[in-house]
Structure 1
Amino acid sequence: MTANWSTPEGLAAIKDALAATIDGWAPPVAYAVGISSASSSPELEFPHVNAPGGTHGLPAVVLAKMLGHANGSHTYDLTRPQLEAAVETLRPAEACTSLDHPNLAAWRTVLGELESNPARTAYAVFIGDLDSPVESEAEATLRTLL
């Protein structure tokens, strides 16, 4: 079977097939890619937040597969090559013109920020359960945005 990146149904099938390759996969309640501030502020910036009830599951699976994440809450430092690979992996989804692709746009924004200021750090934050304890500053910031 050939992957169909051009329809919402095809993207859902790709997400399900990729998720099936992650042992113990459980979709996060919320997730986002963020970047450290360009100033001395400790606040992280999240160009796009995937809030509870969101419909953008394929980017979560792409990130999780790349980072070795299966379930629960965790914050990962995200290298520029990792984020570039995630963008490249998800890029074919743009063939589905009936959907917006806010994660791709956000990830590209973060890549641009990393290129212009290599001292900044990117993060991938997964929240498995909103009732679980906060595990990182990045997760705390993401939770305030939900």
Structure 2
Amino acid sequence: MTADWSTPEGLAEIKAALAATIEGWRSPVAYAVGISPASSSPEVEFPHVNPPGGTHGLPCVILAAVVGHAHGSATYELSAQQLSQAVETLAPAEACTSLSHPNLAAWREVLEELGSNPARTAYAVFVGDLDDPVTSAADATLRTLVQPPPS
């Protein structure tokens, strides 16, 4: 079978095939790539957040494959090389013009920031379940962005 990067159905098939190569794979409820702040603020910045119920599964599987994530909640420091690999792997998805590609845009933005300020650090954050223990300050920030405020 030839991968069809130009349709939503093709991207779903590619996601499923890649996910099948990750032993124990379980989709997280939320995930994002973040970057340490350029200011004195302690919070990691997330150019794009994939909240619970999101539809961007292929970027998640690609990011997980790059960092070696299979399931659960975890935070990984991302090197510029790893993030570049994720961008290069996901870039063919732009052939599917009926979908937006916010993760790709966000990852490219983070790569640019890393290039212009090597003191900054990129992170891949996966939240397996919102009830899991928080794995890092970046994880805590991501969870505040995806959870509705208490009523």
Give the TM-score band, short-chain normalised: over 0.9
In structure 2, the residue matched to 1:76 is 76
> Residue 109 of structure 2 corresponds to which residue in structure 1?
109
Over the residues paired in the alignment, what is the CA RMSD in angstroms?
A: 0.5
The answer on 1:141 being equivalent to 2:141 is yes
Equivalent residue, structure 1, for 2:149: none
The percent identity for this pair of structures is 77
Secondary structure of residue in 1 paired with 2:32:
strand
Counterpart residue type for residue 144 of structure 1? T
Within 5 A, what are the aligned runs for 1:20-59?
20-59=20-59
Normalising by structure 2, report the TM-score: 0.96
In 1, the alpha carbon distance for the partners of 2:102 and 2:63 equals: 14
> What is the DSSP-based 3-state SS (H/G/I as helix, E as strand, rest coil) of the residue aligned with 2:33?
strand
Name the counterpart of 1:16.
16
Amino acid in structure 1 at the alignment position of 2:121: T
Q: Is residue 87 from structure 1 mapped to residue 87 from structure 2 by the alignment?
A: yes
> What are the superposed Cα offsets for residues 67-119 of structure 1, whole Å, 9 maximum, x if unpaired?
11000000000000000000000000000000000000000000111111110
Query: Structure 2: where are the runs of 5+ without partners?
Result: 147-151
Runs ≥4 residues deviating over 3 A: none
Give the whole-Å Cα distance in 1 for the aligned partners of 2:36 and 2:24: 30
